[in-house]
Amino acid sequence: MKPFVLTNAAKADLKAIARFTEKQWGRNQRNIYLKHFDDVFHLLANTPSM
């Protein structure tokens, strides 16, 4: 798997998304949502032509 780097702004956005998601739908849904982001980041890192 190729590594990827997020900007500080992107990290801050993800933290805000995580907090909002947990508040609205709970910790389990937050974890599922963040896992989906992580999966897509890895997919894009491995296939940048997408």
Span 1-11, pLDDT tens digits = 788 899 999 99
Q: What is the pLDDT of residues 18-48, one digit of tens each?
A: 999 999 999 999 999 999 999 999 999 999 8
Domain that holds residue 19: 8-46
Flag whether 12 is in a domain.
yes
Flag whether 21 is in a domain.
yes
Question: What is the structure's pLDDT at 3?
Answer: 87
In a 3-state reduction of DSSP, which class is residue 1?
A: coil
Question: What is the structure's pLDDT at 21?
Answer: 98
Flag whether 1 is in a domain.
no
Indicate the pTM of the whole model.
Answer: 0.83
pLDDT at residue 50 is higher than 90: no
Q: Are 21 and 35 in contact (CB under 8 A)?
A: no
Query: How many domains does the chain contain in total?
Result: 1
Flag whether 41 is in a domain.
yes
Residue 18 identity (one-letter amino acid): A
Flag whether 3 is in a domain.
no
Flag whether 2 is in a domain.
no
